[in-house]
Every structure is written in C-alpha cells, then in structure tokens.
Amino acid sequence: MREATVTRNTKETSIDVRLNLDGSGIYDVKTGIGFLDHMLEQLSRHSLMDLRVRAKGDLHIDFHHTTEDTGIAIGEAFFKALGDRVGITRYGAAYIPMDETLTRVALDISARPYLVWRVQFSKPKLGDMDTELFKEWFHAFAQAAGITLHIETLYGENNHHIVESCFKGLARALRAATAIDSRAADAVPSTKGTIGGVPST
C-alpha cells in the first residue's frame, strides 16, 4: 500500500495527516475551517485516496496559516506515499463541469513544482473563508507534492461551484496520474530513469 503519515508543527499550526493513495475515498477531516473540510472531503472522495487530517491553527488571526500549512502537509504525505514512482502513469487531466462552471486541471508528477492558476472569483469570501486562500492551498500542495499543476476555470459564475470544480478536478487528475500503468508497471515514467532524484527501491 502506498501510504504515508506526516506531522507538521509550527508556532502557527499543528497538523497531522495520514494518506493512502490506494484507498477507497474514505475521509476524516477536521481543520476548524468548515469550507476547507468540505473541499478536502471532495479531494479524498473523487481521488479515492483515504485521507485523515487533524489541524489546529491560529484561526483567531485568520485562516491563512491553517489553509497553507494543510496544503503543505497533505502535499508532503502525497510525495512520501508515491515512493519510488515506479509504474505510475505520471500525467493526469480532468474537465469538471459543475452546473454553469467548467474547470480544467492538468498535472505532471514531475518533481518540478509549479502552479499555473487561472481562476477568478466575483466575491472576496465564501462563508468565512477568503477566496484568495484557495490559490494559497493549491500552491502549497503543488510545491510540497512536487507536481506541475495547471488549473483554469474556463467559465463559471457561482464561486462555490468554481472552487469545488478545482478540487474535484485535482482529485480526478491525481487519480489518473497515480494509477499504475499495466504496460509499464516496472518502470519509472521518465527517460532519466528517475523522477526528481527519487531512488528506485
């Protein structure tokens, strides 16, 4: 089983993550931020990763540190759970429609972290959460996970639908990229023979 546990403690947050890439989409998420919990549950359910998250942060200040550090911790767990990358499909993409919204997500498990974010919101908040923090979460996740990640909402009006389509798109693209390719199950999908210097075991 490709799984990992990460604990991240700073003066701003305390986060524990347990992730299983080969799960069935079972989630148990508590960050103290209701909307973020909802999005991480979507990430788990639609990627089929089992995900347990416990986060405590300085929410009396704002939601920034907890949001960003949760992205880092989940990304680190993802990176660890991938192991030597042997047999993975590596690339994944998804188009996610949600009523009037359509979002495209494409990614490469490259060990070259990068985020292209072409998503716009019409309001500064969703409930109590600043909409600008969603970019921070995806950036933190991409950096820690070592993936090249492109997210673009092609069109949409409802901000909830826009955010949810981004997380569901990431989930489906990760599901495709981490799947074992039966035609190359014993090979790292790179002409270098390694991805980012991760040693083959």
Mean pLDDT confidence for 9-19: 97
Q: Domain coordinates of the chain in residue numbers?
A: 3-178
| Alpha-carbon distance values, 32 to 3, 45, 55, 63, 144 (Å) | 24, 20, 7, 9, 22
Q: Quote the tokens at residue 6.
A: 């990460």
Q: Which one has a higher pLDDT value, 176 or 127?
A: 176
Asked if pLDDT for residue 201 goes beyond 50, the answer is no
Q: How far apart are CA 181 and CA 90, in angstroms?
A: 9
State percent of the chain over pLDDT 70: 97
Cα–chain center distance at 127: 22
**What is the band of 198 on the pLDDT scale with cuts at 50, 70, 90?**
low
Considering only the top CATH level, what class is 3-178?
A: alpha beta
| Alpha-carbon distance values, 189 to 20, 88, 195 (Å) | 21, 7, 8
Q: Report the side by side order of strands in the sheet with 114-118.
A: 91-98, 101-108, 148-155, 114-118
Mean pLDDT confidence for 117-136: 96
Q: How far apart are CA 60 and CA 85, in angstroms?
A: 40
pLDDT per residue as tens digits for the range 48-82: 999 999 999 999 999 999 999 999 999 999 999 99
